[in-house]
Structure 1
Amino acid sequence: MKKFIAETKSMTPEEKASYLEYNREMGVVHEDCAQEGQTQAPPRDQAVVRHFITLISHNNKLYELDGRKEGPVCHGEINKESFLESAAAMVKKFMARDPEEMDFSVMALAED
């Protein structure tokens, strides 16, 4: 990580992403670490149904960040006080798409 941070210090976020995407050394380290975990990693060519999304507040708007989509999805205006309520309502909408599905988890990161 020290090498990555040093080599990308003056790069834009987009340049850092590109550097990371094509950096063979980081790819090898990632593969090695992924194989050390408790969970059996699926083969690279296997379709993975489960994935993570995050809901964030940025410039008074609620955004969905999902790596399987082209870019951020704006879900409308909010204010700092309504973020939790708005995010919870969005999670309920996601869950309502398949009410019989119980294979999900939710995690919140919050300030002290």
Structure 2
Amino acid sequence: MTASRWIPLENNPEVLNSWAYKAGLVSSDSGFSDIYGFDDELLGMVPRPVKAVLLLFPISSAFEERRKEEDQKIIDEGSLNDKGVVLWIKQTISNACGTIGLLHALLNADVSLDPDSPLAKFAKECKDKTPEERAKFLETTPLFASIHAEAASTGQSVVPTDLDTDLHFCCFVEVSVDGTSHLVELDGRRAGPVDRGVCEDLLIDTIKFVKDTYVAKSASIHFSMTSLGPPEF
């Protein structure tokens, strides 16, 4: 990790939309909304169509073991990043997983961006760069550091003095792979994008995967999810 360290973001729509709209997401087109639970009634409240899902989860020893195994498979066999069908960024800034998750969501989803915005400029600069080069550009560009700090200060919690945290963001998007829709997990701490298989409904398939793979194997209650879709205005 670089010496650079940011304030952790909260996974709530107020914070995420503050970041996204300052960075260039067109507010009349899309926004982030809470996913309050896994049952059908609560999922029915999520604005559709869902274009990306952000998950905030507690890092555990069991998760780290699974991550190492999957990362080694990615290193050995390659990933969707090599096919150029998804834009993935390696995380090198401590506590920047919220911004990395937002970038993964907004740059891989079908959303409208202000063409002169930081998001549009970042996408243009990073299009032909490697994930490591994208990470270095994020470290050195002023495009997002101040936006991240402003968004972090709009949350419901007091800004922590101890910036160490075991909570981490990842993003789920739907990607076309050889003409078939796949559920893809994007996490800057990984060795690359993780293909989670054929996707028929982004929200439902993500919920099932998170329940089976994250929640069911953890004793923690510190999970939260938000969706990117039509704005709730």
After alignment, is 5-14 or 100-109 more displaced? Answer: 5-14
Q: Partner of 1:92 in structure 2?
A: 211
Q: Partner of 1:106 in structure 2?
A: 225
Q: Partner of 2:6 in structure 1?
A: none
**Identical pairs, percent:** 24
* Runs of 4+ more than 6 Å apart: none
Residue correspondences, number = 106
2:197 to 46, 68, 76: 76
Secondary structure of 1:51's partner? strand
Instruction: Kindly indicate whether structure 1 or structure 2 has the higher relative contact order, using CA contacts under 8 Å at least 6 residues apart.
Output: 2
Distance 1:72 1:110 in 2: 22
The two structures, once aligned, show a CA RMSD in angstroms of 3.4
Task: Rate the CA distance shift 1:19–1:3 in 2: closer, same or farther, 3 A.
Answer: farther
Secondary structure of 1:33's partner? helix
Residue type matched to 1:40 in 2? V
Residue type matched to 1:58 in 2? V
Distance 1:6 1:40 in 2: 29
TM-score by length of 2: 0.36
Map of 1:1-112 to 2, 5 A cutoff?
Answer: 10-13=124-127, 14=129, 17-23=135-141, 25-26=142-143, 29=146, 33=150, 36-37=153-154, 39-43=158-162, 46=164, 48-59=165-176, 60-79=181-200, 82-93=201-212, 94-98=214-218, 100-111=219-230
Secondary structure of 2:226's partner? coil
CA deviation profile, 1:3-60 (whole Å, cap 9, x unmatched): 857976853333655322223x45763685377455324556x3x2101111111011
Q: Which has the larger radius of gyration?
A: 1
Q: Is the 8 A contact 2:118 2:144 kept in 1?
A: no
Secondary structure of 2:168's partner? coil
Task: Rate the CA distance shift 1:97–1:85 in 2: closer, same or farther, 3 A.
Answer: same
TM-score by length of 1: 0.66
Distance 1:7 1:77 in 2: 31
